[in-house]
Amino acid sequence: MAQWSDLPLDLVVSIAKRVLLLEHFIVFGAVCRSWKSAATKENFTRTHQVPLLMLPEKKGTTLREFCSLKHGKVFKQNMPELVTGKLFYSSLGWLMTHPSWTSDYTVMIHSCKRLAFCRPGLGDQQWNVIDSSKTNDRLYFDVTYYEGNFYAVDYFGEIYVCEIEDPKAPAKTRVIVPRLPYEFKSPYIIEKLYLVESAGALLLVKCPIETIEYFKVFKVPTSDGNWSNSELKNLGNRSLFLGCNSSFSVEASNYGCKANCIYYTNRPLQRQQGEDMGIFNMEDGKVESYVKESLNFLTPHLWVEPSL
């Protein structure tokens, strides 16, 4: 009988490219030497993974704790570089300055009223502020990368595309979708907005900052700018992950997540223990807790996607 290690390499590579879960891919590479040779970064199909929740740092230790939602366990990892390095929250978890990084990348950051980017590969030695003289009346809530462009959303739900492709032309933003139609609920309700890519579509999610009364999801009408009939009442087999550093989605059935649910973390003005993180069910509006530790205003909980 033939051994698994005797399978043709091209067949093993074909199998490797069909393994979606990173932890399964690592186990795949541990089967034997020939399978390990196929379990390379190039053969791993890059998809969003179920993230780990990095818990707030604790004084006097370089250990960081990571909560696995899939396994319901907390893992500890010694990471002294997180104490001495500079951290930047990003759409894929967190970035840390490191001299060995490739220079072929673009980083976009935002504050309340400004967008800025840096492209080291094109010689940028500092941040380039976009439309610095025209953004004083805008309040940016989120920025994300979608289909080759950076998109931003402001307080009113107006969607902008960041035009930064030509290094010789001034960087600017352009409105591609007008304001989300205003729905009055209460003069005391302030909403937070997120941009999320899900199954090839760009979604806008809004929810109150101070309560978990509701989450509303809209498909951004990038083609015609018409918000009519854009609200999604059901996410189907998708799970959304929202956070101060990262917002993305995964196919629930592939990764053991709860379908048609929104995993959220660090609602900044939540007043009661346990309300700043949870799982919101789009079908019945109920909220389920997934981790007990919460309410750390100095160090947020971060979604961190595992990668090779």
pLDDT of residue 295: 45
Across the chain, what does the average pLDDT equal?
A: 80
pLDDT of 31 > 70? The answer is yes
Distance of CA 232 to the CA centre of its chain: 20
pLDDT of residue 194: 94
More confidently predicted of 250 and 21: 250
pLDDT of residue 197: 93
- The SS3 assignment for 101 reads coil
pLDDT of residue 126: 81
Count other Cβ atoms within 10 Å, centred on residue 239.
25
More confidently predicted of 33 and 260: 260
Find the range with the poorest average confidence among 96-110, 201-215, 245-259. Answer: 96-110
Question: In this structure, what are the phi and psi dihedrals at residue 157, rounded to the nearest 5 degrees?
Answer: 85, 20
Alpha-carbon gap, residue 90 to 104, rounded angstroms = 17
β-partners of residue 149 are 146
Alpha-carbon gap, residue 118 to 51, rounded angstroms = 26
Q: Do the beta carbons of residue 77 and residue 66 sit within 8 Å?
A: yes
β-partners of residue 195 are 204
pLDDT of residue 205: 96
More confidently predicted of 216 and 131: 216
Q: Which of 185, 216, 190, 184 is nearest to 203 (CA)?
A: 216
pLDDT of 201 > 80? The answer is yes
Alpha-carbon gap, residue 203 to 248, rounded angstroms = 10
Our CA dihedral for 158, 161, 164, 169, rounded to 10 degrees, sits at -80
pLDDT of residue 267: 55
For range 284-295, the mean pLDDT: 73
- The SS3 assignment for 207 reads strand
When computed from its CA atoms, the radius of gyration of the chain, rounded to whole angstroms, is: 21
Alpha-carbon gap, residue 107 to 216, rounded angstroms = 28
pLDDT of residue 196: 94
Burial per residue of 201-210, b for 16 or more beta-carbon CB atoms within 10 angstroms, e otherwise: ebbbbbbbeb
Alpha-carbon gap, residue 271 to 183, rounded angstroms = 24
267-276 per-position pLDDT tens digit? 554 445 445 6
Task: Report the run of H or E that residue 109 belongs to, with start and end.
Answer: strand 107-110
62-106 per-position pLDDT tens digit? 787 777 777 777 877 777 766 655 555 554 544 554 444 566 778
* Annotated domain spans of the chain: 4-43, 52-304
For range 103-131, the mean pLDDT: 80
The crossing angle, in degrees rounded to 10, of helices 9-16 and 22-29 is 160
Query: Count of H helices and E strands in the chain?
Result: 5, 22
pLDDT of residue 293: 55
pLDDT of residue 75: 76
